[in-house]
Amino acid sequence: MKTHTIAIVDDHRLFAQSLEALISSFGNYEIAFYAGNGKEFINSLKEYGKNPDIVLLDINMPVMNGIETMAWIKENKPELKTIALSMDDSEETIIKMLREGAKGYLLKDIHPDVFKKAITDVIEKGFYYSDNITNALLDSIDKKEKDDSIKLKEREVEFLKLACTEKTYKEIAGIMFLSPKTIDGYREALFDKLDVRSRIGLVLYAIKNKFIEV
């Protein structure tokens, strides 16, 4: 069985080197090199002289992140087989990476067996897509369409932010120079738009969508 080479690009040194130990234990793989970010990777690639068979690419890195790196690869080394690795499973990110040509996407909480399968799949079949990913993609289709159509007006945003405080609606009405009844109207409109059933839902939505800081 031929030995394949793998490059690891991840700023978490402990993780990268642990991963190396794990991969070594698989037997027929060896680490070509690893790099702490995209820039380092590009340099190491030149030094290394030939292409590694697989590149494991973290998304969140300082200096040059996974998405930028993926773009560089697409431009300069499109034949490189890259698997994206991340804890962050926001669909946005996955989509971006796949669009830039990643051959696979893995979350760091997967089982090592899945990890091994992903590597061999990419080498043998050229790609690996986990169920999570397809699910995430499907999820994102309707969620995005829902989310996108949600447009909050200026005054609604103002209300939303105040709803994320300990003030009562009556107090909020005072602050916004509106009748409590009008506030109630805003509340209902938002409940409807955001598909929530309580003020707690408003707060959670506001935080998720970064209307307020915590």
Partner DNA sequence: AGTAAAATGGGGAATTTTACCCTTTCCAGG
Partner DNA sequence: CCTGGAAAGGGTAAAATTCCCCATTTTACT
Residues forming contacts to DNA in the complex (CB under 7 A) are 153, 155, 168-170, 178-182, 184-185, 187-188, 191, 197-200
What is the three-class DSSP state of 62? Answer: coil
**Per CB under 8 A, does 109 bind its own copies?**
yes
In the sheet with 104-107, reading across from the earlier edge strand, the strands are 29-35, 4-9, 54-58, 82-86, 104-107
| Interface pick for its own copies out of 22, 138, 141, 175 (rule CB under 8 A) | 22
The CA distance from 115 to 155, in Å, is 48
The CA distance from 64 to 59, in Å, is 9
| Interface pick for its own copies out of 88, 92, 112, 144 (rule CB under 8 A) | 112
Rounded to a whole number of angstroms, the minimum distance from the CB of residue 43 to DNA is: 19
Nearer to DNA, 75 or 92 (CB): 75
| Interface pick for its own copies out of 31, 97, 102, 106 (rule CB under 8 A) | 106
Rounded to a whole number of angstroms, the minimum distance from the CB of residue 25 to its own copies is: 5
Residue 59: C-alpha distances to residues 43, 45, 138 (Å):
18, 18, 21
DSSP 83: E
Per-residue binding string, its own copies, 141-170, x by CB under 8 A, is ----------------------xxxx-x--
